[in-house]
């Protein structure tokens, strides 16, 4: 906080007591939080500062990491760490982003892209990507995952840039350097499920629901009982990357795994909120979907009943090429073995008809 201290906040609607255990150099001390009508607990700890480690204690149980932790320096099971979101000295004030039509994207896995396998390790290679004609790098998911190496799709701390890659300040350095090199930065984000290891969300609240299933287990609770805070958790995460990390775009993983019968749909609400924030920041932010539904509503403007994404991955083209090269026809690749499908996917946006999740030919039927 500007006047000193840190405000700790967490949603735990079923808890009777919540405390934050802060370790700021002295013996860790517990500080009681106060509950509001929505089950959100909060308190200001005047002695806490950036760099202090902390955990939440619910009803006298084990100390747990913050679901919205900005940094997990000791991996998914360890304490969270306070970060000053305004502490980084950005140098990209003149950068305003790129239009979607100007994107030439290089998909980048931070852990394998450089010998160091870190955010900082990628920086010396940015100029070379720009010389190739790349205009945007897309970082595969960087939210904290268990262990030191992972594709990133089993992240459990959605707000915490991976500690093995260098954590939040290193990610900011990478984005700042990319902008200096003329490269936009797209972050791959996963809102269709949470990873299994280090996932303490169930101790806090109903983040998932058994009323619907996905290939990864119970669906995220975006439309059931007490879902308002879960929706907020996802939408504010998107805003967080755009605002605090200057991300130029987000690629939303497998949106066909996002189950929501609400109006507006979570995706439409998320796109609208991000675009309002981009306008307020005076920047161009592009939103890209991965979808196996083959439904043009994904990129149809909101005014026409769509979700309003700027683009979506051409999965039919990808699947047709994959089958041609590997011969694999199981799962996602079923039905893509016919000759001529590559040409068809280049000619038409969708080769297969639109299908809803759970339909007989849907991705996880």
Is residue 197 flagged as an active site residue?
no
Whether the pLDDT of residue 362 is over 80: the answer is no
337 confidence band (pLDDT: 50, 70, 90): confident
Domains in the chain: ranges and CATH: 6-64 (2.60.40.10), 100-347 (3.20.20.80)
Residues 6+ apart with CB under 8 A from 197: 76, 146, 154, 156
Of 365 and 300, the one with more pLDDT: 300
Q: Which two tokens stand for residue 21?
A: 């255990």
Please determine, for residue 352, whether its predicted confidence score (pLDDT) is greater than 70. yes
In a 3-state reduction of DSSP, which class is residue 296? helix
**Residue 121 confidence (pLDDT):** 98
How many residues in the chain? 365
pLDDT > 90 fraction of the chain, expressed in percent and rounded? 85
User: What average pLDDT does range 260-272 have in this prediction?
Assistant: 96
pLDDT band at 190 (very low <50, low <70, confident <90, very high): very high
The whole-number average pLDDT for the span 148-172 is: 96
pLDDT recorded at residue 351: 84
Mean pLDDT of 228-243: 98
* pLDDT beyond 70 at 292: yes
- Work out the percent of the chain whose per-residue pLDDT is above 70: 96
Task: Name the pTM for this structure.
Answer: 0.94
Q: How confident is the model at residue 356 (pLDDT cuts 50, 70, 90)?
A: low
Catalytic residue (one of 53, 188, 290, 292): 290
Q: Structure tokens of 264?
A: 């507006």
Assess whether pLDDT exceeds 50 at residue 364.
no
Average pLDDT over residues 103-118: 98
pLDDT at 360: 47
253 in catalytic set = yes
User: In the chain, which residue ranges form alpha helices assigned H by DSSP?
Assistant: 110-113, 119-122, 126-132, 167-180, 201-204, 228-244, 266-281, 315-326, 341-347
**CA 291 – CA 262 distance, rounded (Å):** 19
Do residues 51 and 71 make contact, with C-beta atoms less than 8 angstroms apart?
no
Q: Judging by beta carbons within 10 Å of its beta carbon (0-12, 13-18, 19+), is residue 94 exposed, middle or buried?
A: exposed
Closest CA to 69 of 251, 221, 199: 199
Is the pLDDT assigned to residue 363 strictly greater than 50? Answer: no
- How far is Cα 238 from Cα 272, in angstroms, rounded to an integer? 11
Please give the full DSSP string across 203-259, using - where no structure is assigned: HHS--EEEEEEETTEEEE-SSSTT-HHHHHHHHHHHHHHHHHS--SEEEE--GGG--
Give the per-residue pLDDT at 357.
57
Q: Could you say which of 253, 295, 310, 316 is catalytic?
A: 253
Q: pLDDT by residue (tens digit) across 35-79? A: 999 999 999 999 999 999 999 999 999 999 999 999 999 999 999
């Amino acid at each position: 906080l500007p006047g000193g201290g840190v405000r700790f906040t967490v949603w735990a609607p079923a808890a009777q007591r919540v405390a934050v255990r802060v370790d700021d150099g002295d013996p860790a001390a517990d500080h009681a939080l106060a509950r509001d009508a929505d089950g959100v607990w909060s308190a200001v700890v005047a002695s806490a500062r950036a760099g202090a480690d902390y955990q939440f204690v619910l009803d006298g149980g084990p100390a747990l990491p913050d679901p919205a932790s900005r940094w997990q320096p000791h991996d998914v099971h360890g304490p969270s760490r306070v970060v000053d979101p305004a502490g980084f000295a950005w140098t990209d004030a003149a950068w305003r982003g790129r239009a979607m039509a100007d994107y030439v994207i290089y998909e980048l896995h931070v852990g394998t892209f450089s010998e160091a396998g870190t955010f900082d390790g990628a920086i010396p290679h940015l100029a070379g990507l720009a010389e190739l004609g790349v205009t945007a790098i897309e970082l595969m998911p960087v939210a904290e995952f268990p262990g030191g190496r992972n594709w990133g799709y089993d992240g459990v701390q959605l707000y915490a840039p991976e500690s093995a890659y260098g954590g939040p300040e290193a990610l900011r350095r990478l984005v700042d350097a990319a902008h200096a090199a003329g490269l936009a930065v797209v972050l791959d984000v996963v809102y269709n499920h949470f990873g299994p290891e280090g996932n303490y969300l169930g101790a806090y609240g109903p983040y998932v629901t058994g009323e619907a299933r996905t290939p990864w287990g119970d669906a995220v609770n975006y439309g059931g009982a007490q879902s308002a805070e879960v929706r907020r958790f996802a939408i504010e995460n998107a805003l967080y990357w755009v605002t605090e990390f200057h991300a130029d775009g987000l690629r939303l993983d497998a949106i066909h795994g996002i189950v929501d019968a609400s109006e507006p749909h979570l995706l439409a609400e998320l796109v609208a909120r991000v675009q309002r924030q981009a306008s307020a920041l005076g920047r161009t932010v592009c939103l890209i979907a991965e979808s196996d539904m083959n439904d043009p509503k994904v990129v149809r403007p909101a005014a026409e009943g769509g979700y309003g994404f700027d683009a979506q991955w051409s999965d039919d083209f990808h699947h047709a090429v994959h089958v041609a090269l590997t011969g694999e026809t199981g799962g996602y690749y079923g039905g893509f073995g016919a000759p001529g499908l590559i040409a068809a996917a280049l000619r038409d946006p969708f080769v297969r008809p639109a299908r809803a999740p759970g339909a007989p030919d849907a991705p996880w039927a």
